[in-house]
Amino acid sequence: MSAISIRNVVKHYGRGATANQVIHGVSAEIGDGEFIVIVGPSGCGKSTLLRMVAGLEEVSGGEIMIGGKLVNDVEPSERDIAMVFQNYALYPHMSVYANMAYGLKIAKLPQAEIDARVHKAARILELEALLERSPRQLSGGQRQRVAMGRAIVRQPKAFLFDEPLSNLDAKLRAQTRLEIQKLHAELGVTSLFVTHDQVEAMTLAQRMVVMNAGRIEQIGTPEQVYGRPATTFVAGFIGSPPMNLLAGSAEAGQFKLAGISLPLPAAAPRPGELLLGVRPEHATVCGDGGWPLAVEMVEMLGAERLVYGRLGAAAFTLRVDAMRAAPRPGDVLGLAVAAPQLHWFDPASGQRL
């Protein structure tokens, strides 16, 4: 079993009144063989949390368990995990084969087993033709595959990925995401993957852990996190472009913004001050009688367009099919939103209602 349990984990640097706390009582359960993505903005603590699981950072409070064993005070080399870093961390003077085999040689495995493991990993990652090359003869994507191969041959209890695709261009990132998905499908090893890129999170994760300022905002499948964000932070962070968040007041089937009143397809969860969330793709152009969007700018993105405008004084982004006639700045579009696509949040706490 290689489940990972993170229980009320705290991390702070320094002591006493001057201590800087960066992780605030984080708890999460990662099942055996599950692929979990930890996502959040820079500085939210996601890499620090991963490094504590790896044993590269000391745990200030709480417990981390791997395979049912408490590992707070266990050395990294004894945790039976393999880590893939952002900068590949390959030995430049060694061949691809030697890089992948190095950890196994240190562990003094028989040469026949080393050969079998390296060639199996090379076959999975399509590196067989590159085994005699040095890292400087490889592209960025190939180097990252070598780094993953070095982790695979270890046959660890868990893989830890620390933003491994950040140094790749967009095309290589997409290709490597696919390779990682295939890899997990074949090996089924428990994996923790850290990224600030929501596209990586949405495409790779079986479940996502969304972090903000050292705390977990939401844990769920990509569909759950996108479809029912737990907080305004998640609503604004997950999705590109992000969810429209409108501050106003609900009253008698209307939502009143600064300078305008919008008819609601269903009653708000309560009267008074609220935040109303609408995804850009969930508003449709309906003609007269809808929410009046005053168009300010239009972006062409190939198969779709983004229309930026205002509902009264509030900014609003609309996603439309590029096949329809493009609106122009100054046009006023009537918008309709179905009741299930309205998201309501408390303006004080930011929590979903």
pLDDT, tens digit, for every residue of 162-203?
988 887 788 878 888 888 898 888 889 999 999 999 999 999
**Do the bridges between strand 283-285 and strand 332-337 make them parallel or antiparallel, or are there none, so unpaired?**
antiparallel
- What pLDDT, on a 0 to 100 scale, did the predictor assign at position 1? 61
Question: Which CATH superfamily does the domain covering 244-345 fall into?
Answer: Nucleic acid-binding proteins (2.40.50.140)
pLDDT band with cut points at 50, 70 and 90 for residue 300: very high
pTM comes to 0.90
In this prediction, residue 141 carries a pLDDT of 84
pLDDT (mean) for 8-31: 91
Domain with CATH 3.40.50.300 in the chain: 4-237
Q: How far apart are CA 193 and CA 155, in angstroms?
A: 17
What confidence score (pLDDT) does residue 164 get? 86
Which pLDDT score, from 0 to 100, does residue 68 have? 92
Contacts of 127 (CB under 8 A, 6+ apart): 96, 121, 142, 145, 146, 149
Token pair for 324: 């329809």
Q: What is the CATH number of domain 4-237?
A: 3.40.50.300
Pinpoint the residues of the chain covered by CATH 2.40.50.140. 244-345
Q: How far, in Å, CA of 234 to CA of 71, rounded?
A: 31
Higher pLDDT, 18 or 26: 26
Residues 6+ apart with CB under 8 A from 25: 8, 9, 10, 61, 62, 215
- Distance between CA atoms of 325 and 164, rounded to whole angstroms? 41
Length of the chain equals 353
